[in-house]
Amino acid sequence: MTTAHTLGTLGEQAVLARIFPRLPHAASAIIGPGDDAAVLATPDGRTVVTTDMMVHGPDFRLAWSSPYDLGWKAAATNLADVAAMGAAPTALVVALAVPVDTPVDALERFADGLRDACDALAPSCGVVGGDLSVTDTMTIAVTAFGDLAGAAPVLRSGARPGDVVAVAGDLALAAAGIRLLFAEAVDAHGMPDADAAARLAERHPEELRAQLRPSPPITLGVVAARAGATAMLDVSDGLALDARRIARASGVALDLRLADVGSPEALEGGEAHALLATFPPEGALPEGFRPIGLVVEGESVLVDGEPYARLGGWDPYADWNGARG
């Protein structure tokens, strides 16, 4: 009989000694984990910085996401924010709070997910520091850094009438995944259920992978910047909602073609972390981007020329309902 080590039985130094070797190495690390702070090479003289928090309940359920999935997704979503500025990800710092009885094995799987996501999506990026805490509500906070390599950052505010609206990455699968999970990966009381999720994953592997372990087109962020993208963001709350953010910041309207978007689900799908960008009308779109609309005068989102009145995505406060499990 073996006893699994937990955070509470092993103590801080021993836990960190098991996790550090699994973390992905950052090519930019001058001083990595282990001191009061890391030191990161930022040869451009500017650094792109973004942070995002994932909370058990509103952002993930342990019945549906493995620790490996969570490490992967925490990395991928932050890498997408760096890419959406037109930068190449260089490093992550990761703060993680878990219940004190969490097996150390689970933390190792989480680190493996961070490593594999960096290896797959942004190979020179790695983890340069972090923090590990105890909590009743598992919470993950990742801060990601990026290198603009001399280029101007691509903001949300640069779209101009006449620009082409284009997207790279899938819009609908992640949304289908969360819809399927809420509909079918629950028990008789509507609570998230791991066995039902495992059965669902056999029938809908692509949808669940897109939701639980997304692979945004990270390298296309720099590609879009080099191609002259005038505005860009990653679609994290829903295409229409995020398109409206570009519209407002730029003082324009984005007119989307439903036929090119693909489906009403794609129009409101969140968490896909596709890159939504606008490009000048002259010149071809860079490989990986497909056109889905046009920038026109106005200050809103249109679909096939008609104002789109729905929110078009997920509001993390107004839409949160703890009773859903």
Coil, strand, or helix at residue 128? strand
Site for a copy of itself in 105-164 (CB under 8 A): 128-137, 139, 141, 143-146, 148, 153, 155-157
- Site stretch for a copy of itself (CB under 8 A), options 28-36, 110-118, 177-185, 284-292: 28-36
* Angle, alpha carbons 258-260-261 (nearest 5°): 60
51 is in an annotated binding site: yes
How many whole angstroms separate alpha carbon 23 and alpha carbon 158? Answer: 37
Residue-level length of the chain: 325
- Residue 113 or residue 146: which is nearer to a copy of itself going by CB? 146
Which CB atom, from 181 or from 241, has the smaller least distance to a copy of itself? 241
Question: Tokens for 206?
Answer: 């692509």
Q: Where is 234: in which H helix or E strand? A: strand 231-234
* Binding piece for a copy of itself, criterion CB under 8 A, among 9-17, 117-125, 261-269, 282-290: 9-17
Quote the distance between the C-alpha of residue 313 and its chain's center: 15
Instruction: Report the nearest approach of a copy of itself to the CB of residue 97 (Å).
Output: 5
From the CB of 20, what's the least distance to a copy of itself, in Å?
14
325 is a site residue for a copy of itself (CB under 8 A): no
| Residue of the chain from 18, 25, 47, 257 that contacts a copy of itself (CB under 8 A) | 47
The strands making up 139-147's β-sheet, listed across from edge to edge, are 126-134, 88-98, 139-147
**Segment interacting with a copy of itself, rule: CB under 8 A, options 11-19, 109-117, 159-167, 181-189:** 11-19
Query: Among 4, 17, 27, 51, which residue sits at the site for a copy of itself (rule: CB under 8 A)?
Result: 51
Site for a copy of itself in 236-295 (CB under 8 A): 249
CA distance 193 to 88: 37
**Of residues 40, 240, 261, the one with CA closest to residue 170:** 261
314 has binding-site annotation: yes
Determine the residue type at 50. Answer: T
